[in-house]
Amino acid sequence: MNSRSPVFYSADAVRRVLNWPMVNEAVETALKAVVATPTIQDDKQQAPPYSQSHVSQPARSVTSANKEHSKMLLTMPAFVGNYRLTSNGMGDDSSAVSCSTLACKVVTSFRSNQLLQPPLPSISANILLFDPGTGELNAIMAGTDITTWRTVSASLVATKYLFFRRFGPHAERELAINVAIVGCGVQGQLHAAAMCANFKVNQLNLYNRTESKAQQLANQLEEQILKADNNCNAPNKVNIKVCSSAREAVQQVDVICVATYSKEALIQASDLRDKRSVHINAVGAGEVHFGEVAADIYEESLVYVDCMSNAEHELHGLPAPIVGELGAVIIGGSYPTEQAVTIFQSMGMASEDACVAEAVQMALASCGK
């Protein structure tokens, strides 16, 4: 037997190499690969040759560990074939590597962990990476940070193509925006930092049900911005405001990121009346994926998803038709009009996890980890 023990990549090792160019490239690649995947209309039709990037990712399975469904085990398998990643995440063809990845993410979601003393993370994830040729388990990678980063990255990619590109081909480099973060938990914190790191943000409004948590995030961000200023690499000066309500936070902003467990709508259409060109990243993980945003906003919006087949499985009752997949917008260049409200309904895909894990493994290998 020539089998060997799988390599384990710790959370510390993963954190050392995570960066936005690398993660954004991997997530954008996964989004495009979903759209590019050949489909078979019936059993008699022969599948087209897989000469381009393609994805196989069944709907995630969910196992509940209590009757309240607050303790869950999720499995998210995926195969992403024949795609390309660059060593620096900058899309440089000269350094591009052809990849195929077979992976499965195993996630536990235990919301009550926040109440433990000391508290534990509510979400814990590990990604299993298999040899796509033999099926052997090659590596186990701590996946909690990858889950957080790829979710935020999908919002960044959606903001780039659904908001900025409606104003021009390089608008994400040129335009300054006002951003609202509704929910200042782990996702909200990284969304806030990532928006400031990737785009020109003038105003950043923060709202959290517990105001002290929003104030804590504001203090952390101001410290990070001051440190970046001192190192002469700050992209721009950001005015940060802690708001007393979600309504206050979202008025007069361009981009809204909603990331909570709320079962009830936190923002209404009336909150957006003064601003007709708005993009919303809805990434909450409540019992209903779309519960945080009121139905009257959906009814007036163009709704996009990461994967249509997953949306059909998970978004029953969504109060608006789905316009299409984000990957199709990236590939086709058919952007929303300037005066539009768009929503990226983020569900998260196993293919994103697989591509980011592959990029992380490449980065760790290049630095000898």
The answer as to whether 217 is a domain residue is yes
Strands 176-182 and 137-142: unpaired
54-57 LR contacts (CB < 8 Å, sep 24+): 54/80, 54/81, 54/82, 55/30, 55/79, 55/80, 55/81, 55/351, 56/81, 57/307, 57/310, 57/349, 57/350, 57/351
The answer as to whether 165 is a domain residue is yes
User: Half-sphere exposure of 65 toward its Cβ, with a 13 Å CA cutoff?
Assistant: 11
- pLDDT number for residue 314: 81
Indicate if 44 and 97 belong to the same structural domain: yes
The answer as to whether 68 is a domain residue is yes
Indicate if 36 and 105 belong to the same structural domain: yes
Distance CA 215, CA 344 (A): 27
CATH number, position 159: 3.40.50.720
Indicate if 26 and 155 belong to the same structural domain: no
Nearest to 349 by CA among 37, 20, 131: 37
Indicate if 195 and 307 belong to the same structural domain: yes
The answer as to whether 304 is a domain residue is yes
- pLDDT number for residue 43: 47
Indicate if 49 and 112 belong to the same structural domain: yes
Distance CA 246, CA 7 (A): 45
CATH number, position 37: 3.30.1780.10
Distance CA 235, CA 337 (A): 27
The answer as to whether 116 is a domain residue is yes
Indicate if 261 and 172 belong to the same structural domain: yes
- pLDDT number for residue 88: 65
Distance CA 141, CA 217 (A): 28
- pLDDT number for residue 58: 92
Indicate if 100 and 153 belong to the same structural domain: no
Distance CA 267, CA 290 (A): 12
Helical packing angle, 20-36 and 144-158, nearest 10°:
70
Indicate if 317 and 358 belong to the same structural domain: no
Enter the pTM of the model: 0.92
The total number of structural domains in the chain stands at: 2
- pLDDT number for residue 87: 67
Indicate if 236 and 177 belong to the same structural domain: yes
User: Per-block average pLDDT, block size 10, for the chain (369 residues)?
Assistant: 84 98 98 80 48 87 91 97 82 79 96 92 94 97 97 99 96 97 96 97 98 97 80 73 98 96 91 90 76 92 93 82 96 94 96 98 87
The answer as to whether 181 is a domain residue is yes
- pLDDT number for residue 45: 46
Domain span including residue 194: 148-349
The answer as to whether 135 is a domain residue is yes
- pLDDT number for residue 315: 83
Indicate if 55 and 175 belong to the same structural domain: no
Indicate if 50 and 60 belong to the same structural domain: yes
Say what the alpha-carbon torsion angle 137, 133, 31, 58 is, to the nearest 10 degrees.
Answer: -70
The answer as to whether 1 is a domain residue is no
